[in-house]
Structure 1
């Protein structure tokens, strides 16, 4: 288990009855989480003191119930990184705090490489990994198909005070972008990807993680440099075991470059219970 336990501005206070109680800076939020199948074990008064409570709808989706006024968006810091937080209609806030475990790892890998490192961040969302890699000194290419998310990532990069560092922010289909990079002969020392469970490709073809991840990973092999530093795969697909990521990294990266592989769950510590909330899985290859 890789636990994101270095936060000061974020805290998973309590969990139970299908919900999580969180502190995002000074803002308290209450959100559903399908992993939380246990009951509440205490009587923390903050459950009823939240600024916002996201309610799932029986017909799908849901909406926020605002009990106290909050800013349209606010800042959250992790070490020297800063991010804009803004609750969305899909219960998310624009940041997955468990990913801090990966940010700390990649910042250390890049800083200790003692050479220029180029990073490709695919399905890059609001740029948590982009900001982390850039702050550690890497040159980064950030790719996401959603224009609004790419703009949010640009703002996070500026907010962290590293807006002058070399990052290319690209709004594009990830699969088409990788194919073009193959034709151009461009190479990367590290690739980060956080692929969806389901999606559609540029030609309307169906992406299903279990069927599509391995061939996509194979295609990414052709844009790895001769001295790659790492590959990181995150997955939130329910039911996919961490060993699956180990196996496909073993059959691709390790077979070609050697190195080591690690995989496991990624999670957040729960303050009130001392337990850990699982938030997905990851697979890492490193030279």
Structure 2
């Protein structure tokens, strides 16, 4: 299954080639590397040569932005009624993964059609794209958990930008495993769980996360905070070499054994380029949803 994030107006994947992509974020054009773009550039036309910012990788790791035209340190873009701050970082990222709009749409649709209050747990929640989407869809509560204080601060800003300050959203800066273990002891339960685990990472106190070693055990741990009437469970991954079938199998051997009924499936996320319609692959997902 391939799901396309093709309903954006403030974001556009313009073109791709030679390991780079050319994107419009609102009024500003950025040129960034992408390891999935292994085909050649057909022509380095004017916008390729003169974007607002061009991120150059360093041979020593990391990289830096070349500012070719003036643009702000931060600006706002919209996805329908949702609003987000864009902040280009020294690690090439902008603070938002636009392909996730396909998952936002699905999550929002599930929450709106549930006809009951839904509590959502968003783990490895980054700058809160899914948090904003679920809050906007009318979730009774969203618990946003990420180990980065800076990313969590930006998530709070995104909630305010979208006019959702009145919604019940808890922001937690913590190691996700330790947080879930505490929620188990407290007896707290959630109807929907979203997670976007990194390939490798460290918690605020140096806790090591390696997805191949930790993912199954963590998803299995999350079964203990799942309500008796769960709505959905979503896993995103950008880990190179992982197949959607891996995520399907993890869900099958955890929630598939715990909850009778439901549907499990996986697939890829992609964004079409406006110049020629080529699809940029942008990670994978696995989903369990109630019937």
> What TM-score does the superposition give when structure 1 sets the normalisation length?
0.98
Separation in structure 2 between the aligned mates of residue 5 and residue 183 of structure 1, nearest angstrom: 42
**2:250 matches 1:284:** no
**2:247 matches 1:242:** no
Q: Which runs of 4+ in 1 moved over 4 A?
A: 201-205
Q: C-alpha deviations, 1:61-119, integer Å up to 9, x for none?
A: 00000011111211110011000001001000000000000001100000000100000
Structure 2 residue aligned with 1:40:
41
Separation in structure 2 between the aligned mates of residue 93 and residue 201 of structure 1, nearest angstrom: 21
Separation in structure 1 between the aligned mates of residue 205 and residue 211 of structure 2, nearest angstrom: 17
Worse-superposed segment, 192-201 or 98-107: 192-201
Separation in structure 2 between the aligned mates of residue 79 and residue 212 of structure 1, nearest angstrom: 36
Secondary structure of the equivalent of 1:216? helix
- Which residues of 2 match residues 194-209 of structure 1 at below 5 A? 194-200=196-202, 204=206, 206-209=208-211
Separation in structure 2 between the aligned mates of residue 225 and residue 134 of structure 1, nearest angstrom: 19
Q: CA deviation at 1:201?
A: 5.3
- Structure 1 residue runs without a partner (length 5+): none
Could you tell me which of 270, 273, 276 is aligned with 1:270?
273
Separation in structure 1 between the aligned mates of residue 282 and residue 23 of structure 2, nearest angstrom: 14
Task: Say what the alpha-carbon RMSD is for the aligned residues.
Answer: 1.2
Could you tell me which of 144, 147, 150 is aligned with 1:148?
150
Q: Count how many residue pairs are aligned between Structure 1 and Structure 2.
A: 287
Secondary structure of the equivalent of 1:30? strand
Secondary structure of the equivalent of 2:22? strand
| CA 1:203–1:94: 2 relative to 1, 3 Å | closer
> What TM-score does the superposition give when structure 2 sets the normalisation length?
0.96
- Structure 2 residue runs without a partner (length 5+): none
| CA 1:144–1:205: 2 relative to 1, 3 Å | closer
Secondary structure of the equivalent of 1:222? helix
Q: C-alpha deviations, 1:116-136, integer Å up to 9, x for none?
A: 000000000000000000000
Q: CA deviation at 1:202?
A: 7.0
